[in-house]
């Protein structure tokens, strides 16, 4: 994951902003990164982030970012996915890919990230709905 080590703070800030539902701020963050990060590895990482932005804005419940936070505790699900991803990457014939490095970074830092705001809102509405 050394190819994106210098991008970690920017990536985690972007993901936190996105999951908090601050779409305009997340888009501006991505634009700033796009201006700062120019080499092919960095552009590949930005491609991963654009995909996350698009799937989260579209409320794609089948996307990986939602699946991490669904069903089981996020830390456990992230650990499972991280192990699968690292195993896949170990056996991959191609070298490292910063697209996957972004996911490794996210999964390793899942405890630092907020629960997706849409899932929080659903949880709160279920609680208030059950209380009525």
Positions of the chain with pLDDT under 70: 1-2, 93-95, 123-132
The domain total for the chain is 1
pLDDT at 127: 56
pLDDT at 97: 85
pLDDT at 30: 97
36 is in which domain, residue-wise?
Answer: 2-131
pLDDT at 96: 74
Phi, psi of 24 (to 5 degrees): -65, -40
DSSP 8-state code for residue 21? T
Helix, coil or strand: residue 52: helix
pLDDT at 88: 85
Kindly state the tokens that stand for 77. 């699900």
pLDDT at 132: 45
């Amino acid at each position: 994951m050394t190819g994106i080590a210098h991008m970690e703070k920017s990536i985690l800030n972007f993901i936190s902003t996105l999951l908090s539902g601050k779409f305009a701020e997340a888009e501006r963050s991505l634009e700033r990164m796009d201006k700062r990060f120019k080499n092919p590895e960095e552009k590949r990482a930005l491609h991963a982030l654009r995909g996350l932005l698009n799937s989260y804005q579209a409320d794609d419940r089948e996307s990986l970012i939602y699946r991490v936070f669904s069903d089981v505790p996020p830390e456990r699900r992230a650990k499972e996915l991280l192990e699968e991803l690292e195993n896949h990457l170990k056996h991959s014939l191609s070298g490292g890919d910063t697209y996957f490095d972004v996911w490794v970074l996210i999964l390793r830092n899942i405890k630092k990230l907020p629960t997706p705001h849409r899932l929080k809102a659903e949880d709160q509405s279920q609680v208030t709905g059950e209380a009525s």
